[in-house]
Amino acid sequence: MTGQIAVNPTSKLESVTISPNTHLDGGTLNNAQVMDGVTLTNLTLGDNILLSSNVIIGEGVRFGSNNQIPIGTNLTAAFSSGNTLSLQTEVVSGPVLTLLQQLNQLPDLQNNQWQFEPNPLNGQLQLTREGIRFALLPVSVMQVGTDQPAGMTINPDDSIRFVTSYGREILAQPMIQDMEVFRQALGLAPKEVQVTKDGVVYVNTGENSKNAYRPSVESNLVGSEQPTGLFDAPDQLNAKKLVFLDENGQTREQLIHSACAYPQQWQAYQDSLPKGTNDLVLGQDGTVSVSIDGQRYRGVCDSTVTTTQDSSESAKGPQNSLLFFVKAKDGKGLVVSAYVSYWGTAEFNTGEIR
């Protein structure tokens, strides 16, 4: 079978081979081989299914058993509901734990008597302990081997990687806990704020510029006399504080840091470096530790991302290089700042580095 195939939801397909470049939508599949490059949506995989490792799993796909899911399968679309992930479901049919139940049964959470709760308004996972509220937005679900230990890993940028007993790897990013107050404080319409899956919040500031921010994972209670809005945080480097009222009427404060734009390009740059020098660290507070031309630098990214009108090679950097650094020096010849140009975007960050 090949091509675009729509199947009645109550129909069954038996003893077939689904060829590459096929999109199969609907029905139940039994005794079938599904080749690489096939897209599946809104169907149930029944008995005796041989699923290749590069099948695209779309919305509404359900598996008959957990061992049908190849390691490395991206399950994000199967868990998606609108623009967010629904953790109160599972992709395996039958009496199984939902993704949220799997997450809350992780030893790291059970041992501390912690339980995440979903916020139905924004899809965030929330956990409040001793007045501190942690808020994360799940952005992806991958299948890893069930031989990997269940647990959670907190990354330097405050994103968290959860691995459940079913082999679901969930990546969750810190998110702004009251987007409405954030937008109103900046006078922005919803379309002028873009939240990406790598946890960076981009705010349009002009025709050729935008700001890149990364919120802290937590908010803290502050005095009720504090006005709501977005304010400078003088005791923090390149940060602002968002003050808002939670659903209980309590006043909270969340730090919003400047961020390095396009973390995936930074990661790809790191991966291209020789072994031993590829130890990039992007911190949750906008700090960066990176090797440039064999020398180690530490610094902080400015929030401003500018689109340059200069299309020359010197502005973009060498072709196929994902990042291109232009260093600035002081009167003593010390490097004090750098432009970071992102190939293919004609955009650059600036930042103080040492």
DSSP states of 253-302 as a string? EEEEEE--S-HHHHHHHHHHSPTTT---EE-TTSEEEEEETTEEEEEEEE
**What is the reported pLDDT for 61?**
95
Beta bridge partners of 255: 241
**What is the reported pLDDT for 286?**
83
Burial of 121 from C-beta contacts in 10 A (0-12 / 13-18 / 19+) = exposed
Burial of 277 from C-beta contacts in 10 A (0-12 / 13-18 / 19+) = middle
Q: How many CB atoms lie within 10 A of CB 60?
A: 17
Q: Can you tell me whether residue 316 is helix, strand or coil? A: helix
Q: What residues does each domain of the chain span? A: 4-174, 179-258, 263-353
CB 317 within 8 A of CB 343: yes
CA 235/CA 71 separation, integer angstroms: 45
Q: Which of 30, 33, 37, 31 is closest to 3 using CA atoms?
A: 37
Q: Which of 197, 170, 193 is closest to 83 using CA atoms?
A: 197
Kindly write down the DSSP assignment for every residue of 211-240, as one continuous string: EEEEEEEEEEE--TTSPPEEEE-TTSTTEE
CA 132/CA 275 separation, integer angstroms: 40
Half-sphere exposure of 50 (CA within 13 A, CB side): 9
Q: Which of 299, 302, 275, 280 is closest to 291 using CA atoms?
A: 280
| Helices vs strands, H then E, count in the chain | 5, 29
CB 252 within 8 A of CB 177: yes
**What is the reported pLDDT for 220?**
97
State the residue for tokens 């808002």: 244
**What is the reported pLDDT for 342?**
64
CA 257/CA 254 separation, integer angstroms: 10
**What is the reported pLDDT for 310?**
52
| Local structure of residue 203 (DSSP, 8 states) | E
| Local structure of residue 92 (DSSP, 8 states) | B
CA 97/CA 103 separation, integer angstroms: 10
User: What is the reported pTM?
Assistant: 0.86
Q: Can you tell me whether residue 185 is helix, strand or coil? A: helix
**What is the reported pLDDT for 130?**
92
CA 14/CA 66 separation, integer angstroms: 21
Q: Please give the chain's pLDDT, 354 residues, in tens.
A: 677 888 888 888 899 999 999 999 999 999 999 999 999 999 999 989 999 889 999 999 999 999 899 999 999 999 998 778 989 999 999 889 999 999 999 999 999 999 999 988 888 999 999 999 999 999 999 999 888 899 999 998 999 999 999 999 999 999 999 999 999 999 999 899 999 999 999 999 888 889 999 999 999 999 999 999 999 998 887 899 999 999 999 999 999 999 888 888 888 888 887 776 667 888 888 888 887 777 777 888 888 888 765 544 444 444 444 566 666 666 666 554 566 766 545 455 555 454
CB 127 within 8 A of CB 111: no
Buried b (16+ CB within 10 A) or exposed e, 5-36: eebeeeeebeeeebeeebbbbbbbbbebbbbe
**What is the reported pLDDT for 53?**
85
CA 92/CA 101 separation, integer angstroms: 14
For residue 137, the one-letter residue type is L
Phi, psi of 186 (to 5 degrees): -95, -5
